[in-house]
Homo-oligomer: A and B are copies of this chain.
Amino acid sequence: MHDISIPALFGILAAMLVAAKLLGELAERLGQPAVLGELIAGVLLGGVLGIVPTEGPAGEVVHVLAELGVVLLLFEIGLETDLREMFRVGPAALSVATVGVILPFVLGFAYWAYVPHAAAAGSTDLTTAAIFVGATLTATSVGITARVLSDLHQMNTMEARIIIGAAVIDDVLGLVILTVVSGLAAGASLAPLGILRIFAVAVGFLAVAVVVGRFVAPRLFDLVVRMRVRYVLLVIAIAFALALASVAALAGSALIIGAFAAGLILSGTNQFDTIEREVRPVASIFAPIFFVSVGASVNLSLLDPTREGAPGLLGVAAVLTLLAVAGKLAAGWAAPWARYRRLVVGIGMVPRGEVGLIFADIGRRAGILNEAVFGAILLVVMATTFIAPPGLKLLFGSRSGNPAA
């Protein structure tokens, strides 16, 4: 009756959870954030052992569970976010996000279009390819950074608020860029009005949802709490997060923006601490599946230096990684009027995670990026994703890193 072997799938999920916790523990014992261990667990289970399905029906199910994990994670982060504090860092976050999108894009585009390098040879349309390469460098993976900050118990710092705020804004900007590059991939030309519309929808969704939600949700949940059935508060809260994630994505925004908005909204209800306490165990089961999946999407054969074309590829990847890191680091200094540790914010913006992978994949499937260039971008995404956790740990560990200006 069904195409999926559920016993096999449950076995894989069990292995993913156990590996995530064992390597997370090892990472913590070595003074690193647990999420770094979960990513490495994914590399081991996916790239080395090949037991994490990435395609076919089983791959779909793992993908859905991973998305459920990142939605629950962003919901939890939204619940833990103080909206007034968020507004206070708003201008700084906006400035950091904007610079952190423009600078990496310009650097990536310029390198690809104007500097001679191995991987550019054979590209049919250098300008389009350069736009794609630039675009893949703009994303920020809010999931990775948020988990690192949470692992380090730093979610309540000024820096964490700026990073999370900027990363959410980056997701809004990322949607605009995604739509533009998807249009390019389909052969369309850039229409300024279309771009503006996407931008307005994404920003508008977040604003309307939070304003309306903060008014409606407390009244709604005062009714819910009067119901008697088991765990009604938790189940309705998670249904609320799923529904808002769904509406956000269908309205042209993104799942994780809806989930984050749901958390922000419910943090204004009277039942907020019960919801937060009960959501945590549920999120703790699914978030590791997301991080292990991200690790499992790493293609290890790209790291093999004896592979044909590998030296050139690794050189290009190294340059792109430098540009990607430099562009985001510089964004850390984009809000000179605010007092915060610039380097912490810069490092926090570095991981590209799954968003960069999605951009690169669209370019590959449209034939704009060939296998080699796609491979180089994958290496950049991996490198940036793995740099941030130990970097943030180092900075938060040594308070001397970069004092508030």
A: residues with CB less than 8 A from B are 1-4, 6-11, 13-15, 17-18, 20-21, 24-25, 28-29, 34, 57, 60-61, 63-64, 67-68, 71, 151, 227-232, 234-236, 238-240, 242-243, 245-250, 255, 278, 280-282, 284-285, 288, 358, 361, 365
Contact = CB atoms under 8 A, between A and B. Distances in A.
A28 B282 contact: no
B235 A285 contact: yes
16 contacts: A1-B358, A1-B361, A6-B64, A6-B67, A6-B255, A7-B249, A8-B246, A13-B242, A14-B242, A14-B243, A17-B242, A20-B235, A21-B236, A25-B227, A234-B285, A282-B285
Given A17-B239, A234-B281, 4 more contacts: A11-B247, A14-B246, A17-B236, A17-B238
A358 B29 CA distance: 48
Given A6-B64, A229-B28, A282-B282, A250 B11 contact: yes
A11 B57 contact: no
Contacts of A236: 17-18, 21
A60 B20 contact: no
Chain A interface, >50% SS class: helix
Contacts of A2: 60, 63
Q: How many copies does the complex hold?
A: 2
Given A229-B25, A249-B6, A238 B64 contact: no
Contacts of A60: 2-4, 57, 60-61
Nearest to A1: B361
A361 B6 CA distance: 18
A262 to B, nearest CB: 10
B61 A11 contact: no
B231 A284 contact: yes
Contact of A21 (B15, B29, B227, B243): B227
A252 to B, nearest CB: 11
Contacts of A228: 25, 28-29
A329 to B, nearest CB: 29
A14 B64 contact: no
A231 to B, nearest CB: 4
Closest 5 CB pairs of A and B: A7-B249, A11-B246, A231-B284, A14-B243, A17-B239
A280 B231 contact: yes
A284 B14 contact: no
A229 B34 contact: yes
Contacts of A7: 245-246, 248-250, 255
Contacts of A57: 57, 60
A64 B63 contact: no
Contacts of A20: 235
B235 A288 contact: yes
Nearest to A59: B2
Contacts of A1: 358, 361, 365
